[in-house]
Amino acid sequence: MKIYTKTGDDGMTSLFSGGRVSKTHLRVESYGTVDELNSIIGVARAHKPHKQTGDWLEQVQTHLFYLGADLATPLDAKADWVVRMDTEKVDWLEQTIDQMTADLPELKNFILPGGNLAAAQLHVARTVCRRAERCVLTLGAHEPIGDFVVPYLNRLSDFLFTLARWENHQAGIEEAKWALRA
């Protein structure tokens, strides 16, 4: 099978449920940004983080494929095979955040993004996650989206922030605190 189809040469792309939209459509921008986030998380995994970090990130990458499929399929589409985001995926993020937070020193200051390569990449992933959330919110202002898409992205950015802290903590790297300077 060839990787190229030439069907997008006119600037249009197919949705999972059928139908075609412009590649500049908010729906495509939304799931494209989720795909970008998934790739950035792959870079974080390539930096050989703590094993538990890698395992958690693999789970998130799986979730992000579901999220992309959810976004690529309008809610009114007849596509029973699409796995929609659900409360269980959001709950998993919350439980994992709580687990990591129990191991971390209390956060009393803003911290500067950085640390080891994996943690620094997780901070980049967090900012892309926030951009994905903004794209999805814009899409949601124009057409219906799944009930758990925005909560998942909102929680995921918290997860990525906490995971960056946890990764540095596991590596024995002290967080760089932000200080207001005149």
Domains and CATH numbers, the chain: 19-170 (1.20.1200.10)
Residues 95, 27: Cα–Cα separation, whole Å: 29
| pLDDT band at 83; cut points 50, 70, 90 | confident
pLDDT at 20 over 80: no
CA distances to 143, 153, 181 from 101, rounded to whole Å, are 36, 19, 29
Give me the residue label for tokens 């985001």.
Answer: 85
Q: What pTM was computed for the model?
A: 0.91
Residues 81, 131: Cα–Cα separation, whole Å: 28
Q: What is the mean pLDDT of residues 6-17?
A: 65
Q: What is the mean pLDDT of residues 96-120?
A: 96
Q: What is the mean pLDDT of residues 85-94?
A: 97
pLDDT at 166 over 70: yes
The residues, any chain, with a CB within 8 Å of residue 174's CB and separated by 6 or more, are 168
Question: What's the pLDDT score for residue 11?
Answer: 73
**Neighbour tally for 181: CB within 10 Å:** 4
Q: What is the mean pLDDT of residues 25-51?
A: 95
Residues 138, 127: Cα–Cα separation, whole Å: 17
Comparing 11-20, 23-32, 118-127, 134-143, the range with the smallest average pLDDT is 11-20
The two three-digit tokens of residue 146, written as one number: 């799944």
Secondary-structure percent of the chain, ordered helix, strand, coil, rounded to 5: 60, 5, 35
Question: What's the pLDDT score for residue 112?
Answer: 93
